[in-house]
Amino acid sequence: MRHGYVLMLCRNYVFEAITDEQRLCRVLCFPRPERGCCSQRLEVLRELGIEYLYSFGNLLIERGLRVVGKGHSAIVVLAKHNIVGVVGLKVRRIDSTRDSLESEARMLMLAENTDLVPKIFAFTRDFIVREYIDGSTLKHLIASAAEILLKKIFVKLIEAAFELDRIGIDIAEVSRPDAQVVFMCNDPEKPYFIDLGSARLSPWPTNVTRIISSLVRDCIGSQVFCKKWGEGRVRNLILLSRQYKKSLAEEVRRCILMQIINEIYDMN
């Protein structure tokens, strides 16, 4: 489908495929399109089953050309796969300090059984073809969700971080969950870690501690939010997160996790 009205997970969108080769090259070889790069990457995409790329998303990389996400090492664009349908396509930037996306793809595959990351359909050195997760960021939910739902969202996010800790995946940049986590738009209690570019295997992962640090930072940055829940509760969360970080046994960490959850639900 080159254009039209398409249902993706939980929203309806109208968008059109990028058919102009020069515009395609600006996406595939971002930020400095080169003809040799473009022709090589187009050939690889055809082998992966990618039929079209779409100009879609909140980020404008140039006039009339939008993408879903943009980071230091890659951009993410919406695409059409010949079997799966609409997918997210991660494209390694040509100025990236990372020489491959393969490590991230393997991390995503390792975490796939948790149902907390997008499914991987294919990957190469320069591309990851994955499930597209349609949803909201934590920042958006903090601004719009009712208090009782917000507590559930925080708890689900912390529980999800614990699951990644439990299988030994440590995400260095998860302290910025707005860039790393998306909540399903038809199920805001369902978080997905969409970017494992900074992930590594570790015997002592601390995703829970990083997530709580982020929540505390957002609390301090929002006077209404902080006053409503109280500084004493925030201090308790910090102390519990430090205990969690120092503890190595899974059962001990699980007990601390329950204390953290109770602390959040008791906030009022």
pLDDT digits (tens, 9 = 90+) for 154-193: 999 999 999 999 999 999 988 878 778 999 887 888 999 9
- 49: phi > 0 → left, psi -120 to 50 → alpha, else beta; which? left
Residue 223 pLDDT > 70, yes or no?
A: no
Across all residues in the chain, what is the average pLDDT? 88
Residue 142 pLDDT > 90, yes or no?
A: no
pLDDT at 225: 52
Write the DSSP symbol of residue 172.
G
Rg, C-alpha atoms of the chain: 20
Residue 24 pLDDT > 90, yes or no?
A: yes
Distance between CA atoms of 105 and 102, rounded to whole angstroms? Answer: 5
